[in-house]
């Protein structure tokens, strides 16, 4: 499959109002792509579109947790853009709490946004994807290495990974590539905007959010460039940052026991969070 040329082609990006999605929009604009941007944040989406200069941009405000809304926006995109060169399923949400601390409805919300919307958009837009086009699905390092306290998020990102790997094999004969992305600690609002599970105390949620946010150090613009270069080269998967590459190596070396090492690291992080909370309370 030849290198992906984005100039003049239509690129659809979800979660485009902030973080990696906003950076992807900027990088795609510099490559000369025509942009179709989706997000539930109307103001953020408008601000991104306003900064992109003269490139053609269409925006759609949509809540990806709503299956009917996803179907409607996909139909609108196909009607206006019958030929799509790149589809990037980037939108994602997080939920704090162990499995026993969240409701099945809360769990389902994460699966709906992170996984079901990816599947629905791939299914609805695939007929419009050009031969020689490409699909990028954003998973996470938590789609490679599981961690406690984020069961819903981990499940959704493992699902994205498996779906993408199977889809890649199925679409290869049709000349459509698929890249699955596993970002490490990218500096986005994913932690700050995470929902608190019904059974999680506010102090526990706040402390966990602060500690997790400290790990998010990679510039989204850098992540976007890594992702687009991987798509252009038709790479099957891409790990963004050492915070993704090291856990990936760990799961390969210790597939049955890496969890114990992660648990120890998480316990140390939790202890620091508790001490920090105690200092602020005192």
Please check whether residue 89 is in contact with residue 118, taking contact to mean a CB–CB distance below 8 angstroms.
yes
Q: Label residue 271 by pLDDT band (50, 70, 90).
A: low
Rounded to an integer, the average pLDDT of 160-188 is 95
Q: Does the pLDDT value for residue 250 go beyond 90?
A: no
Rounded distance between C-alpha atoms, residue 37 and residue 14, angstroms: 6
Is residue 274's pLDDT more than 50?
Answer: no
Distance CA 71, CA 91 (A): 16
- Is residue 5 assigned to a domain? no
The larger pLDDT score, comparing residue 47 to residue 253, is at 47
pLDDT tens track for 44-82: 999 999 999 889 999 999 999 999 999 999 999 999 999
Q: Which of 75-89, 157-171, 200-214, 246-260 has the lowest mean pLDDT?
A: 200-214
Q: Residue 280: pLDDT above 70?
A: no
Within-domain flag for 275: yes
Q: What percentage of the chain carries pLDDT values higher than 70?
A: 91
Q: How many domains does the chain have?
A: 1
Please pick, among 153, 158, 212, 258, the residue that the annotation labels catalytic: 153
Please state the three-class secondary structure of the chain as a single string. CCCCCCCCCEEEEECCCCHHHHHHHHHHHHCCCEEEEEECCHHHHHHHHHCCCCCCEEEEECCCCCHHHHHHHHHHHHHHCCCEEEEEECCCCCEEECHHHCCHHHHHHHHHHHHHHHHHHHHHHHHHEEEEEEEEEECCHHHCCCCCCEHHHHHHHHHHHHHHHHHHHHHHHHCCEEEEEEECCECCCCCCCCEECCCCCHHHHHHHHHHHHCCCCECHHHHHHHHHHHHHCCCCEEEECHHHHHHHHHHHHCCCCHHHHHHHHHHHHHHHHHHHHHHHHC
Quickly state the pLDDT bin for 268 (edges 50, 70, 90).
low
Does residue 4 fall inside a structural domain?
no
Does the pLDDT value for residue 89 go beyond 90?
yes
Q: How much is the average pLDDT of 91-101? A: 95
Is pLDDT of 244 > 60? yes
Among 111-120, 138-147, 206-215, 233-242, where is mean pLDDT lowest? 206-215
The residue segments making up the domain with residue 79 are 10-281
| Separation of alpha carbons 9 and 236, rounded Å | 21
pLDDT of residue 54: 86
Mean pLDDT of the chain: 90
The pLDDT of residue 273 is: 47
pLDDT of 266? 57
55: domain CATH number is 3.40.50.720
Contacts of 270 (CB under 8 A, 6+ apart): 207, 208, 211
pLDDT tens-place string over residues 192-216: 788 899 998 887 777 776 666 677 7
Residue 212 has a pLDDT of 67
Collect all residues with Cβ–Cβ distance below 8 Å to 126 and sequence separation of at least 6.
Answer: 135, 171, 176
For residue 51, being part of any structural domain is answered with yes
What six digits make up the tokens of 220? 């989204």
The pLDDT of residue 181 is: 97
Is 258 noted as a catalytic residue in this protein? no
Is-contact 176 134, C-beta < 8 A?
Answer: yes
Residues 135-156: tens digit of each pLDDT: 999 999 999 999 888 999 999 9
**Does the pLDDT at position 97 exceed 90?**
yes
Residue 3, in any domain of the structure:
no
Residue 65 lies in a domain: yes
Once rounded to an integer, what is the mean pLDDT over residues 29-47?
97
| 239-243 average pLDDT score | 90
pTM of the model: 0.90
Rounded Cα distance, 22 and 16, in Å: 5
């Amino acid at each position: 499959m030849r290198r992906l040329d984005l100039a003049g082609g239509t690129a659809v990006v979800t979660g485009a109002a902030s973080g990696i999605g906003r950076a992807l929009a900027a990088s795609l604009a510099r490559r000369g792509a025509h942009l179709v941007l989706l997000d539930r944040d109307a103001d953020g989406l408008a601000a991104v579109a306003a900064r992109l200069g003269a490139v053609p941009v269409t925006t759609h405000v949509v809540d990806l947790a709503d299956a009917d809304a996803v179907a409607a926006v996909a139909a609108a995109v196909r009607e206006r853009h019958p030929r799509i060169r790149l589809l990037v399923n980037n939108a994602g949400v997080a939920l704090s709490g162990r499995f026993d601390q969240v409701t099945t409805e809360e769990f389902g919300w994460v699966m709906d946004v992170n996984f079901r919307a990816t599947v629905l958009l791939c299914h609805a837009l695939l007929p419009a994807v050009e031969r020689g086009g490409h699909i990028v699905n954003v998973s996470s390092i938590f789609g490679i290495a599981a961690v406690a306290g984020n069961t819903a998020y981990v499940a959704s990102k493992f699902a994205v990974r498996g779906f993408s790997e199977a889809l890649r094999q199925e679409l290869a004969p049709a000349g459509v590539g698929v890249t699955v992305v596993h970002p490490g600690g990218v500096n986005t609002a994913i932690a700050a905007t995470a929902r608190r599970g019904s059974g999680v105390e506010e102090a526990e949620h706040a402390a966990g959010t602060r500690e997790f946010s400290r790990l998010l150090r990679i510039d989204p613009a850098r992540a976007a460039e890594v992702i687009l270069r991987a798509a252009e080269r038709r790479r099957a998967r891409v790990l963004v940052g050492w915070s993704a590459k090291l856990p990936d190596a760990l799961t390969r070396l210790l597939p049955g026991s890496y969890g114990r090492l992660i648990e120890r690291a998480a316990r140390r992080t939790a202890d620091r969070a508790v001490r920090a909370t105690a200092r602020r309370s005192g």
